[in-house]
Amino acid sequence: MRVHRKKRGMLIRMLAGAAMLRKRSALAALTAIVTAAAAATAMLNLFSDVQSKVQREFRNFGANIVLNAPEGKSLSRQELNTIRAVVDRRGLAVPFAYAVARTITDQSIVVAGTDLDLAKRLNPWWSASAWPQAPGEALIGIRAARAISRDDRKTFRLRYQGKQIQLFQAGTVQTGAGEDSRIYLSLNDFRFLTGLDPSVVEIAADGSPAQVTSLLQTLHNSFPNLGVRAVRQIAEGEAKVLGKTRSTLLASSAFIVCTAALCVLATLMGWVYDRRRDFAIMKALGASGRLIAMFVAGEAALLGLAGAILGFSAGIGIAAWIGHANFHASVAPRFELFPAILAGCLAVTLLSTLPPLRLLRRIQPAMILRGE
């Protein structure tokens, strides 16, 4: 035990002495490793944070999966409950029912029944002046508002197959799409007027594109009689944005890491060449090639460890600065990335020792000590 401790202490002193005697070379290699680690940390932090922010932003554009009942049919209460159970904790499922009602002037108008609170969460991008809060209130599209005749300033009546309901205008909605021509009621008011149940369920699935695809497949398998489709504009748009972001950040990180590896390799090659006389003396005194290789690898490992710690700390700061400067949002530090950054730095430095070690094997002590 004492012998091993003495050897370990001597090795540490030799490594520290070598670094102090060649400060410029050690500093150049350390700077390269710190730069690579900082860049990789910043890129990975940004991608991890941007990925979650992009997914969250795309959820604000509404549903990315739609389920349709067969034409002319509605979804039963049991089917709706089963759909909610499948989607639970993986997204938000909102039922919709549609019918064509008539105004008191006999104009046709599309009426939609839904859970208005869930619809508000599903479509936060809708430009609504106010959402209904009580039974008998309606959300009216801006084009539909021109078609209805009001009994007074806020109330109006709709008819459907002999039934009639009086509603209060809670607010108007504008989306630039079909919603502008519809009137949205609560499901209870819609059932009272039409007697119909929902026929469509719009789902905002959370998670990555792979997780959304997995939920889509689960719904396909669970409801083979229903039409299950992805909203391609949202799903494909999200996949393209994330794919381009990922490829850009990974390509940038790979370029920086390769550049740093070349810098470390050149530094270590020069380091070994400058110290060839020292290694020749060590061989002449009986040091094995394995011991010398461990000495060189130990120096590289210490540089990798120090570079990983410094670079990771700098990378977190850089990511936070980029987040505030460009995205006006905070970027949460991902400390779980440190093991990967440390492993990468050690791999780069240790792999960079392979060519110098091949050079060491060819050193002939007698020739070096004679000055040849």
pLDDT in tens, 203-252: 988 877 778 888 888 998 988 888 888 875 555 555 566 667 667 777 77
User: Across 31-40, 188-197, 319-328, 347-356, which has the greatest mean pLDDT?
Assistant: 188-197
- pLDDT for residue 241: 61
- pLDDT for residue 286: 65
Mean pLDDT score, 16-30: 65
* 310-364 pLDDT per residue, tens: 989 998 888 888 777 766 667 778 888 899 888 888 888 888 777 777 766 766 6
Mean pLDDT score, 36-65: 73
97 - beta bridge partners?
Answer: 113
Whole-angstrom distance, CA of residue 333 vs CA of residue 323: 11
Mean pLDDT score, 111-127: 91
CB proximity list for 96: less than 8 A, separation 6 or greater: 112, 113, 114, 119, 198, 199, 200, 201, 202
- pLDDT for residue 46: 75
* Torsions phi, psi for 334 (to 5 deg): -105, 90
Better-predicted residue by pLDDT, 166 or 209: 166
* 243-281 pLDDT per residue, tens: 676 677 777 777 777 777 777 777 777 776 666 666 666
> What is the CB neighbour count within 10 angstroms for residue 297?
16
Whether residue 178 has pLDDT greater than 60: yes
| Domain spans of the chain, in order of start | 14-57+240-369, 65-230
What string of H, E and C letters represents the secondary structure of the chain?
CHHHHHHHHHHHHHHHHHHHHCHHHHHHHHHHHHHHHHHHHHHHHHHHHHHHHHHHHHHCCCCCEEEECCCCCCCCHHHHHHHHHHHCCCEEEEEEEEEEEEECCCCEEEEEEECHHHHHHHCCCCEECCCCCCCCEEEEEHHHHHHCCECCCCEEEEEECCEEEEEEEEEEEECCCHHHHEEEEEHHHHHHHHCCCCCEEEEEECCCHHHHHHHHHHHHHHCCCCEEEECHHHHHHHHHHHHHHHHHHHHHHHHHHHHHHHHHHHHHHHHHHHCHHHHHHHHHCCCCHHHHHHHHHHHHHHHHHHHHHHHHHHHHHHHHHHHHHHHCCCCCCCHHHHHHHHHHHHHHHHHHCHHHHHHHHCCCHHHHHCCC
- pLDDT for residue 41: 86
Whole-angstrom distance, CA of residue 59 vs CA of residue 269: 52
- pLDDT for residue 131: 93
CA-closest candidate to residue 182, choices 83, 233, 226, 116 = 116
- pLDDT for residue 3: 45
CA-closest candidate to residue 303, choices 91, 35, 26 = 26
Whether residue 101 has pLDDT greater than 90: yes
What's the whole-number average pLDDT of the chain?
79
Contact yes or no for 283/369 (Cβ under 8 A):
no
**CA dihedral over 187, 189, 194, 195, signed as positive or negative:** positive
CB proximity list for 280: less than 8 A, separation 6 or greater: 363, 364, 365, 368, 369
Contact yes or no for 187/97 (Cβ under 8 A):
yes
Q: Please give the share of the chain, as a percent, with pLDDT higher than 90.
A: 23
* Torsions phi, psi for 67 (to 5 deg): -110, 130
Whether residue 181 has pLDDT greater than 80: yes
Q: pLDDT band at 9, cuts 50/70/90?
A: low
Whole-angstrom distance, CA of residue 242 vs CA of residue 50: 9
Whether residue 198 has pLDDT greater than 90: yes
Least confidently predicted of 128-137, 187-196, 282-291, 295-304: 282-291
Q: Are strands 137-141 and 163-174 parallel, antiparallel or unpaired?
A: parallel
Whether residue 120 has pLDDT greater than 80: yes
